[in-house]
């Protein structure tokens, strides 16, 4: 038995669906659209035909069969493991968009946890995007540029070129696993109607900040800040990690690090006296076709600077 087939059968056993071959065919795969599509997804997985597998998983998630949906999400996780964190999709981003990432975010402050979603990407030029929309299947719109669901920003980064983001932060509840639709319209008339599957993308914890303590006052404009290296409980070894740090207040400072092992930094910009928040954010990234999917875990701690 191959290593892959062993894990495949183990997954079926965990979900209570692994019986004999005849029982599997007779009881698990009844003649419904959801289970028929699920059967085809499992067959494609065993043949290393991941492009067919993801489309069949989409078909499963378009139905109301909850048992089939849960099994489909588990199969997708196995495919990510087999593919090193990158599964194919049957759609492509237009050439004008070089990178697009969907973020599912948990942020913790002394007031509690909030949640958010964001699309962020890089374009060939500013103003190229007319409409950007994400719909939780079948009809719940969670981001919509034209209709003002989420805040829209564009800027030209010296290193990356034109960047954009559409984000809805500080929601009381997170979005759930399942099928999402991506609609993209460009100013030149091009349109892309994509889709993706959210699975295991919500972090259940956030980084622990040791310095500052909540409400701490620094007598220097360049405080040294400390935190613990963080992997979310949902982290998988095939996911790429990165780290973002910032102070928000009358003086803004931020840095983005591809090396997430850092646990201490001195603020590289003198902060004026006043109230601030220190934000520590980790990203754990996988790919669904051309789309990056990022699990974000943020902690925010208030502090003060009084150096004069």
Question: Is 56 part of any domain?
Answer: yes
Residues 251 and 231 in one domain: yes
Positions in the chain short of pLDDT 50: 1, 3, 5-6, 9-32
Question: Is 123 part of any domain?
Answer: yes
pLDDT at residue 284, as a whole number: 97
Q: Which of 298, 306, 300 is nearest to 118 (CA)?
A: 298
Residues 105 and 71 in one domain: no
Give pTM, 2 decimals. 0.87
Residues 193 and 229 in one domain: no
Question: Is 158 part of any domain?
Answer: yes
Residues 187 and 102 in one domain: yes
pLDDT at residue 190, as a whole number: 96
pLDDT at residue 4, as a whole number: 52
Question: Is 91 part of any domain?
Answer: no
Residues 256-297: pLDDT tens digits? 887 788 999 999 999 999 999 999 999 999 999 999 999 999
Residues 296 and 216 in one domain: yes
Please identify, among 51, 86, 121, the residue that sits at the C-terminal boundary of a domain: 86
Residues 159 and 244 in one domain: no
Q: What is the CATH number of the domain that holds 192?
A: 2.60.40.10
Please identify, among 37, 67, 86, the residue that sits at the C-terminal boundary of a domain: 86
Q: Taking a C-beta distance cutoff of 8 angstroms, is the pair 230, 282 a contact? A: yes
Question: Strand 161-171 and strand 151-157: pairing?
Answer: antiparallel
Question: Is 204 part of any domain?
Answer: no
pLDDT at residue 41, as a whole number: 97
Question: Is 203 part of any domain?
Answer: no
Please identify, among 63, 86, 109, the residue that sits at the C-terminal boundary of a domain: 86
Question: Is 153 part of any domain?
Answer: yes
Q: What range does the domain containing 20 cover? A: 3-86
Alpha helices in the chain (DSSP H): 3-14, 21-23, 33-46, 50-61, 66-83
Residues 80 and 102 in one domain: no
Residues 145 and 181 in one domain: yes
Domains in the chain: how many in total?
3
Residues 42 and 119 in one domain: no
Question: Is 57 part of any domain?
Answer: yes
Residues 23 and 57 in one domain: yes
Residues 34 and 127 in one domain: no
CA-to-CA dists, residue 177 to 10, 46, 69, 93, 104, angstroms: 22, 24, 10, 23, 11
The H or E element spanning position 304 is strand 291-305
Residues 227 and 298 in one domain: yes
Locate 132 and state its tokens.
Answer: 């950007």
Helices 33-46, 66-83: axis angle to 10 degrees equals 20
């Amino acid at each position: 038995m191959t290593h892959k087939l062993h894990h495949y059968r183990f997954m079926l056993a965990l979900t209570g669906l692994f019986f004999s071959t005849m029982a599997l065919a007779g009881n698990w795969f009844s003649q419904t659209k959801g289970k028929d599509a699920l059967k085809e997804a499992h067959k494609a997985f065993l043949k290393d035909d991941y492009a067919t597998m993801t489309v069949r998983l989409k078909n499963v998630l378009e139905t109301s069969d909850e048992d089939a949906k849960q099994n489909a999400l588990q199969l997708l996780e196995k495919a990510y493991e087999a593919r090193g964190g990158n599964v194919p999709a049957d759609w492509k981003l237009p050439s004008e968009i070089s990178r697009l990432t969907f973020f599912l975010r948990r942020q913790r402050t002394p007031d509690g946890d909030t949640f958010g979603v964001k699309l962020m990407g890089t374009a060939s030029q500013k103003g190229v995007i007319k409409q950007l929309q994400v719909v939780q299947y079948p009809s719940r719109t969670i981001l919509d540029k034209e209709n003002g669901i989420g805040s829209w920003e564009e800027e030209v980064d010296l290193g990356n070129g034109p960047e954009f983001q559409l984000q809805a932060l500080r929601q009381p509840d997170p979005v759930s696993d399942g099928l999402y639709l991506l609609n993209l319209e460009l100013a030149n008339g091009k349109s892309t109607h994509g889709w993706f599957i959210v699975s295991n993308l919500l972090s259940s914890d956030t980084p622990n900040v040791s310095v500052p303590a909540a409400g701490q006052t620094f007598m220097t404009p360049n405080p040294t800040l400390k935190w613990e290296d963080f992997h979310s409980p949902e982290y998988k070894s095939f996911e790429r990690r990165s780290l973002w740090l910032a102070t928000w207040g009358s003086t803004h400072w931020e840095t983005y690090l591809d090396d997430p092992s850092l646990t201490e930094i001195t603020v590289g910009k003198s902060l004026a006296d006043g109230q601030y928040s220190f934000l520590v954010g980790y990203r754990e990234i996988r790919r669904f076709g051309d789309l990056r999917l990022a699990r974000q875990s943020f902690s925010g701690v208030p502090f003060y600077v009084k150096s004069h």
